[in-house]
Amino acid sequence: MAAQARKAHSKQQRGRKGAQTAPLTRMVVTDALRTWIPPTAAAVVGLVIFVLFNIGIVEEASAVSIVGSLALLLLLFYGVRSFTEQAVPMTVAAALVVFVVLWGTAIYYPFYRTLNPGDPLFTKELARNQSVTVPLAGKAGHYSVLTEGHFTPVQGQQNRTAVYHIEVGHGGAADTVLEGTFEQEWRQERIGAGRRSSVVPALHQKTRHRNEVDDSDGHDLTLKLADLSAEAGDKVTVRVYDELMPQWLLIALGGITLLSALLVDGFRPKGQHEALTSTLTAATLVGLAVFCKSAPAAPGFPQLIVAAVAGVLVSAVSGFIFARVTQPIRRVLPALD
């Protein structure tokens, strides 16, 4: 009987230990998901993608898309993370859902479409002095013209540039001239490490240039390659893209997203990251604008870095301002305990 009692007591102790360990494990895992796991995972994936890009396995547009997407997700995560530490009322949950949807529409979608514009409305190989018509079917708007050049073969390693001029008009009459420069440059790059490393020449080219065209009446456009440097032969490839969304709509969505971020910050307890979401949102919107407008063609890692620096500078200035702005909102909204 005593042995059976000891066994039963031992089972009860093991059951109690298991019951105590399970909540503790969940707490540790949940805390890790809220703190170090997301940034660590994003940093590891970003580093792997950057290395694959540098060795030529992943194209720059895809690499920048992945790294930039991870950065945007981290910013969104840090903006709303504190609201996951406790149960929130339905009003706060609804505000968070609206903010996340607006964030994806006003920030992530323009970022993705800048790198992946989709199928062009019009594609044509345009020869020197040749004119083509771009059918717009009466659709007025803002269009992007991507011009791609093709350098002619040359003996040896020569740095070359080529300039093009494309006349844009209606019915054969030129209204404006699009111009750009293609570049071909040889650089010395080190391959390997230590004594086994070697310096080899590598060719870097910029053979695409983007111009913007406004067509307020929707009439068909005419494009004529009026001039092209001999280094690029006698033809270029022209692609015309529709705008991802009207400029006024982008600005309006950005403003509404910032207002929703101020609303979300209004629910925070006083003294606890009072303007965190609005500060991160303002910095991201400015960084996005810099990224989308900082390159004549598809932006790359240099433009992503410049955008990040611009966002950091904006966040340093805007934090104090938004903390003051959210004070009246916090007096009206029921802040979390």
Residue 8 placed within a domain: no
Structural domain span for residue 305: 35-116+247-332
Pair 186, 252 in one domain? no
Are 58 and 103 in the same domain? yes
Q: Is residue 337 part of a domain?
A: no
**Judging by beta carbons within 10 Å of its beta carbon (0-12, 13-18, 19+), is residue 128 exposed, middle or buried?**
middle
Question: Half-sphere exposure of residue 96, counting CA atoms within 13 Å on the CB side?
Answer: 18
Q: What is the pTM of this model?
A: 0.80
The backbone torsions φ and ψ at residue 98, rounded to the nearest 5 degrees and listed phi first, read: -60, -45
The residue behind tokens 């750009």 is: 180
Same domain, 220 and 298: no
- Average pLDDT (175-192) is 85
The pLDDT-based confidence of 11 (bands split at 50, 70, 90) is low
User: Residue 295 pLDDT > 90, yes or no?
Assistant: no
Same domain membership, residue 200 and residue 289:
no
Strands (E), 194-254: 198-206, 208-215, 221-228, 235-242
Helix (H) or strand (E) holding 210: strand 208-215
pLDDT number for residue 82: 83
* CA–CA–CA angle 128, 131, 133 (5° rounding): 145
Is 29 part of any domain? no
Contact (Cβ atoms closer than 8 angstroms) between residue 279 and residue 322: yes
Strand order in the sheet with 235-242: 122-127, 235-242, 141-148, 208-215
Phi, psi of 233 (to 5 degrees): 75, -140
Q: Could you tell me if residue 19 is inside a domain?
A: no
Q: Tell whether 138 and 211 lie within a shared domain.
A: yes
Torsion from C-alpha of 281, 320, 293, 137, nearest 10 degrees: 50
317 and 174 both lie in a single domain:
no
User: Does residue 297 sit within a domain?
Assistant: yes
How confident is residue 19, by pLDDT bands cut at 50, 70 and 90?
Answer: very low
27 within a domain of the structure (yes/no): no
| Higher pLDDT, residue 314 or 166 | 166
Residue 1 resides in a domain: no
Residue 318 burial (CB count, 10 A):
20
Cα-Cα-Cα-Cα dihedral sign, residues 102, 104, 107, 110: negative
pLDDT tens digits, 235-262: 999 999 988 788 889 999 999 999 999 8
Q: For residue 313, is pLDDT > 60?
A: yes
Q: Per the structure, how many domains does the chain have?
A: 2
Residues 132 and 226 in one domain: yes
Q: Is the pLDDT of residue 39 over 70?
A: yes
Q: Are residues 105 and 161 in the same domain?
A: no
Report the CATH number that the domain containing residue 187 is assigned in CATH: 2.60.120
Domain finish residue from 199, 221, 242? 242
Same domain, 226 and 127: yes
Helix (H, G, I), strand (E, B) or coil at 56: coil
Residue 54 has pLDDT above 60, yes or no: yes
Where a domain ends, among 207, 242, 277? 242
More confident of the two residues 290 and 204: 290
If asked whether residues 214 and 162 sit together in one domain, one would say yes
Q: Which helix (H) or strand (E) holds 49?
A: helix 37-54
Instruction: Please answer whether residues 256 and 284 qualify as being in contact, where contact means their C-beta atoms are separated by less than 8 angstroms.
Output: no
Residue 16 within any structural domain of the chain? no
pLDDT in tens, 229-241: 999 999 999 999 9
